[in-house]
Structure 1
Amino acid sequence: MAARRTAILTTSTVAGLVLLLGLKPHQTALPVIAGSGGSAAVAPPTSGSGASQSSPSSSAGESKSGSGSGSGGGAASTYTGAVEQTPYGPMQVAATFSHGKLTNIRALQTPNDSPHSQSLAAYAVPTLTQEALAAQSAQIQAVSGASYTSEGYRQSLQSALDKAGA
């Protein structure tokens, strides 16, 4: 009887270890998503200090007014989406169009109230960007575990698309 218990316990332990060792760790490296022209599609997941970035307080009127500003010469134009407030900080994107096609999406502001929020944004924003570029719209799936960031991203992108008339 004791030998049988020992055999069952040993088999169970080995099976559990095999399953545990078979799990793949979460990937922490961020993929770089390039739009046309090889420009990076995603900015670092901090509020940063780019010239086209606005602070949440100074751009609140912009998010309500719906007025957009196209920029750039030639066939490419960039439209800045509204700043969307999430429980973890602001979310804002800029969308670039070339010849009527969405070619690049750049995060201007991402939730950054804590290291955890920054980590989630660093993971979610590249995924959302890739999906939006593939879909050519803001009708994309949320990233699991980053629901508020995903919703803010979609709303800001939709604002930019509306300004572009897309």
Structure 2
Amino acid sequence: MRRSLLTTASTSALVVLLLSLKPHQPPEPAALAPAPSPTGARHPGARPADGTYTGAAVPTRYGTVQVAATVKAGRLTAVKVLSAPSDNGRDREIAAYALPRLTQEALSVHGAAIDAVSGASYTSAGYVRSLQSALDRASA
């Protein structure tokens, strides 16, 4: 009887202790953080100038991503991938899968406010940052 009472009290104390702990949230990787907008850019509602603008070369964990954006009549009309991770077969496979989807989505929304492709988080983040920098140059 005494042993079961001690076991029950110990178990209850352990459960209360575990429930009082809060889970640790790891910080978001720096590679996925949004790029800061350049100083001197026009106000956010400014219409981008027509032309083709090269985005920043964005280093990612698996390689550099860089795109060029073509703007006509103030809208994104084309995106050309200038560089993408390609050090090995897996990098090339992910790029071949993700980059057309990212481009298609960017053209459908006429901007860089797009979702990442599952399985290509770093490449997607680099693509979005490079595209946004190209669009920022068009609006500067």
Under TM normalisation by the shorter chain, which class is it?
0.5 to 0.7
* Aligned position for 1:117: 91
* Aligned position for 1:154: 128
Aligned counterpart in structure 1 of residue 56 of structure 2, from 79, 82, 105: 82
Bigger Rg, structure 1 or 2: 2
Deviating beyond 4 angstroms after TM superposition, the runs of 4 or more aligned structure 1 residues are: none
Distance in 2 between residues matched to 1:85 and 1:93, nearest whole Å? 12
Unpaired runs of 5+ in structure 2?
Answer: 1-37, 39-48
How many matched pairs? 96
Distance in 1 between residues matched to 2:86 and 2:54, nearest whole Å? 19
Residues 1:130 and 2:83 aligned together = no
Output the aligned Cα RMSD: 2.2
| 1:27-46 correspondence runs (5 A) | none
Residue 100 of structure 1, CA deviation: 1.1
| 1:1-150 correspondence runs (5 A) | 76-150=50-124
TM-score by length of 1: 0.54
Q: After superposition, what is the alpha-carbon deviation per residue over 1:130-161, rounded to whole angstroms, capped at 9, x for unaligned?
A: 00111111110100000000000000000001
How high is the sequence identity, in percent, across the aligned residues? 57
Greater RCO, CA 8 A, separation 6+ = 2
Kindly provide the amino acid, as one letter, of the partner of residue 113 in structure 2.
Answer: Q
Residue 95 of structure 1, CA deviation: 0.1
